[in-house]
C-alpha cells in the first residue's frame, strides 16, 4: 500500500506529463534512464537497525525521494540468469540464459527496446565472464564494457562515457540516454577474504574477530570456504559466521560510499533531474539463516532484493508493499516511457501500483539454477518450495513467519494444491504463447504436465 504523505497519483501524473513524449511538445526530450544493479545486495541493507544504525545512508537517503518496493524478489539466485530476467522481462525458463548458455539474440533486451526509441545506450558490468558480450549481455548497447573492476573504477568508466564528446553531442541534439551499471564489490571472491571493503569500515567485523581465523582453513579461502561450509554444516562455527557477516556489512558500507559518489556525479551533470533511476540487486546473500552460506536457496535472505525507483527530480517517498519481481522492471520502464510493448514480456508493469492501484493476485517463480524439478513460488502470503518428487514440499506462512522457518505444508494442503495448480496453468499458457517455435519446443508441454504428474494436483 502507499504512504499517505502526499498524493502519489498527482506526483506520478506530473512526472508522467513532464517525461512523456506524447504529452509534451517536441522540445521536451524523453527522460533518461539509469539502471544500477548491485550484485548480492540483501534487501535488509536498507533497513534501520534496532540501534538506529543505517548501513547504507546514501541509498537510504535516495529512497526517501523514490518509490520503494518492500517485497521485491529475484527470479533466480544466479547472476547471469537473474540479470537476463532483469534486462528482458522474461522468466528464466523462457529466456534460457545460464552459465553454459548465453542470452539468445531472439529476445528483446531493454537496451534494444530503448535503442529503437532513439536512446543512446551504454552498459558497464563488473564481471567480465558472466555479464559479458559472449554471454549476450551487450545486445542493444552502443557502448558496452565488462571488466573485473571496483565500483569506483566502473563508475569512472560510466562517467567517462557520459562526458564523452559523442554522448554530450547526442544529448544536446535531444537524444536521451540509457545507462546500465553493475557493481560486484559485495559478492564474495576467490582470493584471501570474501567481500570488498575499506579498512576504515573494519569496525563492522573487528569486534567479531575470531582468534586464529582469517577467512581461510585447511588452505580453503573466501568463496571456496563458504562452499565448503555448505557441504559440511559444522565447518564454520556461529562466531565465524558472524565474523564473515561483518566482512559483508563492511563491504556494503564501502559500496554505499561509492554509490553515493556515483549519484553525486550524476547530480552534477543534471542527470538526477532528467532520469528515472532504478537501484536494485540480482539476489541477496545467506549467512546460515537456513544452514547455508552464499546464495543458492529460495529463502528470503537470498531471494529478496532492494528495489528503489526514483522519477526525475524525485518525489516524497512512496512505499509499495505488493509482491513484485525483477521480471517486472522492463514492462514498468517501457510503460513509464510510453514505449510500445515488447513482443514477449512475462512481467507485469508496476505503474498502476506506483500510482496507488490495487495489487494483483499473482504468483512469482524462483528457479534453482535451472533444475526444473526444483523451484519456489511465492504469493503475497506464502512461499512454497518444491525440491523434487521424493522430497517434502515446504510452505511458509509469511504473515506469521516472515523468516521462513516453520514448514506449514501439512497444515495447509489446499493452499499447496492451489498454488501448484495455478502455477501449472500459468506455465502451460506461457508455453503456448511463446512466439519462438524453437523456444516453445525446447520448453515443451512436458514441463507443464510435470507438476500434474506429481500427484498434488488433478
**Which residue from 238, 367, 366, 308 is spatially nearest to 41, judged by alpha carbons?**
308
| Rounded least distance, CB 421 to Zn ion, Å | 32
Name the residue nearer to Zn ion (CB basis): 67 or 137. 137
**Could you give the CA distance from residue 274 to residue 30 in angstroms, rounded to a whole number?**
9
Residue 211 cell numbers, joined: 582468534
If binding is defined by CB under 5 A, does position 121 make contact with Zn ion? no
Q: How far apart are the first and last CA of the chain?
A: 35
Name the residue nearer to Zn ion (CB basis): 97 or 322. 97
Q: Which helix (H) or strand (E) holds 364?
A: strand 364-367
CB 132 within 8 A of CB 404: no
CB 299 within 8 A of CB 290: yes
Name the residue nearer to Zn ion (CB basis): 12 or 184. 184
Name the residue nearer to Zn ion (CB basis): 93 or 283. 283
The window from 2-10, 38-46, 104-112, 410-418 that contacts Zn ion (CB under 5 A) reads 38-46
| Rounded least distance, CB 404 to Zn ion, Å | 21
| Rounded least distance, CB 283 to Zn ion, Å | 5
**Could you give the CA distance from residue 334 to residue 73 in angstroms, rounded to a whole number?**
20
| Rounded least distance, CB 77 to Zn ion, Å | 8
Residue 313 cell numbers, joined: 527530480
120-125/216-217 β-pairing: unpaired
| Rounded least distance, CB 84 to Zn ion, Å | 12
Binding mask 254-293 for Zn ion (x = CB under 5 A): ----------------------------x-----------
Sites for Zn ion among residues 63-82 (CB under 5 A): 79
Name the residue nearer to Zn ion (CB basis): 84 or 448. 84
Count residues contacting Zn ion (CB under 5 A)?
3
**Could you give the CA distance from residue 423 to residue 444 in angstroms, rounded to a whole number?**
15
CB 325 within 8 A of CB 305: no
| Rounded least distance, CB 295 to Zn ion, Å | 7
Name the residue nearer to Zn ion (CB basis): 74 or 349. 74
| Rounded least distance, CB 187 to Zn ion, Å | 6
Residue 457 cell numbers, joined: 494436483
| Rounded least distance, CB 445 to Zn ion, Å | 32
| Rounded least distance, CB 101 to Zn ion, Å | 17
Name the residue nearer to Zn ion (CB basis): 224 or 362. 224
Sites for Zn ion among residues 80-99 (CB under 5 A): none
| Rounded least distance, CB 342 to Zn ion, Å | 24
CB 119 within 8 A of CB 178: yes
CA 173 to chain centroid: 33
Return the residue nearest Zn ion (CB atom): 79
| Rounded least distance, CB 41 to Zn ion, Å | 9
CB 113 within 8 A of CB 169: no
| Burial label, 22 (beta-carbon count in 10 A; 0-12, 13-18, 19+) | exposed
Name the residue nearer to Zn ion (CB basis): 170 or 227. 227
Sites for Zn ion among residues 292-351 (CB under 5 A): none
Name the residue nearer to Zn ion (CB basis): 39 or 348. 39
Binding mask 382-411 for Zn ion (x = CB under 5 A): ------------------------------
If binding is defined by CB under 5 A, does position 39 make contact with Zn ion? yes
Name the residue nearer to Zn ion (CB basis): 196 or 282. 282
Crossing angle of helices 79-88 and 329-336, rounded to 10° = 30
CB 45 within 8 A of CB 288: no
The rounded radius of gyration (Å) of the Cα atoms in the chain is 22
**Could you give the CA distance from residue 255 to residue 259 in angstroms, rounded to a whole number?**
6
Q: Could you write out the DSSP letters of every residue in 205-216?
A: HHTT--TT-SSE
If binding is defined by CB under 5 A, does position 365 make contact with Zn ion? no
Name the residue nearer to Zn ion (CB basis): 126 or 354. 126
CB 39 within 8 A of CB 187: yes
Residues that bind Zn ion (CB under 5 A): 39, 79, 282
Amino acid at each position: 500500500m502507499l504512504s499517505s504523505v502526499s498524493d502519489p497519483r498527482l506526483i506520478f501524473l506530473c512526472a508522467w506529463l513532464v517525461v512523456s513524449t506524447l504529452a509534451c511538445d517536441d522540445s521536451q526530450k524523453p527522460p533518461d534512464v539509469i539502471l544500477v544493479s548491485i550484485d548480492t545486495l540483501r534487501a535488509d541493507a536498507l533497513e534501520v537497525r534496532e540501534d538506529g544504525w543505517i548501513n547504507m545512508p546514501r541509498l537510504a537517503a535516495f529512497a526517501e525521494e523514490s518509490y520503494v518496493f518492500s517485497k521485491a524478489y529475484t527470479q533466480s539466485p544466479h547472476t547471469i540468469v537473474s540479470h537476463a530476467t532483469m534486462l528482458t522481462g522474461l522468466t528464466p525458463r523462457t529466456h534460457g540464459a545460464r552459465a553454459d548458455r548465453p542470452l539468445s539474440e531472439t529476445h528483446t533486451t531493454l537496451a534494444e527496446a530503448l535503442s529503437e526509441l532513439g536512446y543512446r545506450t551504454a552498459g558497464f558490468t563488473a564481471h567480465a565472464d558472466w555479464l559479458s558480450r559472449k554471454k549476450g549481455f551487450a545486445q542493444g548497447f552502443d557502448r558496452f564494457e565488462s571488466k573485473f573492476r571496483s565500483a569506483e573504477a566502473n563508475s569512472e568508466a560510466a562517467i567517462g562515457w557520459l562526458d564523452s564528446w559523442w554522448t554530450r553531442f547526442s544529448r544536446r541534439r535531444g537524444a536521451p540516454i540509457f545507462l546500465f551499471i553493475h557493481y560486484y564489490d559485495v559478492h564474495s571472491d576467490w582470493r584471501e577474504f570474501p567481500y570488498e571493503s575499506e579498512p576504515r569500515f573494519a569496525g563492522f567485523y573487528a569486534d567479531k574477530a575470531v582468534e586464529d581465523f582469517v577467512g581461510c582453513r585447511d588452505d580453503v579461502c573466501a568463496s571456496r570456504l563458504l562452499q565448503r561450509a555448505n557441504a559440511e554444516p559444522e565447518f564454520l562455527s556461529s562466531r565465524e559466521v558472524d565474523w564473515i557477516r561483518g566482512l559483508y556489512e563492511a563491504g556494503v558500507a564501502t559500496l554505499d560510499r561509492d554509490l553515493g559518489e556515483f549519484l553525486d556525479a550524476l547530480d552534477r551533470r543534471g542527470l538526477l533531474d532528467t532520469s528515472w533511476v532504478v537501484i536494485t540487486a540480482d539476489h541477496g546473500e545467506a549467512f546460515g539463516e537456513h544452514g547455508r552460506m552464499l546464495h543458492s536457496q529460495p529463502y528470503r535472505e537470498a531471494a529478496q532484493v532492494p528495489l528503489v525507483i526514483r522519477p526525475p527530480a524525485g518525489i516524497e517517498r512512496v512505499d509499495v508493499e505488493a509482491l513484485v519481481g525483477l521480471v517486472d522492471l522492463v514492462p514498468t520502464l517501457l510503460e513509464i516511457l510510453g514505449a510500445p510493448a515488447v513482443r514477449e514480456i512475462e512481467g507485469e508493469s508496476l505503474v498502476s501500483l506506483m500510482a496507488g492501484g490495487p495489487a494483483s493476485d499473482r504468483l512469482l517463480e524462483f528457479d534453482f539454477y535451472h533444475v526444473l524439478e526444483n523451484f519456489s513460488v511465492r504469493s503475497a502470503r506464502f512461499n512454497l518450495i518444491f525440491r523434487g518428487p521424493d522430497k517434502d514440499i515446504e510452505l511458509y506462512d509469511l504473515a506469521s513467519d516472515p523468516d521462513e522457518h516453520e514448514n506449514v505444508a501439512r497444515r495447509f494442503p489446499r493452499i499447496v494444491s492451489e498454488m501448484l495448480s495455478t502455477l501449472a496453468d500459468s506455465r502451460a499458457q506461457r508455453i503456448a504463447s511463446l512466439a519462438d517455435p524453437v523456444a516453445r519446443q525446447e520448453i515443451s508441454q512436458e514441463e507443464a504436465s510435470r507438476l500434474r504428474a506429481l500427484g498434488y494436483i488433478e
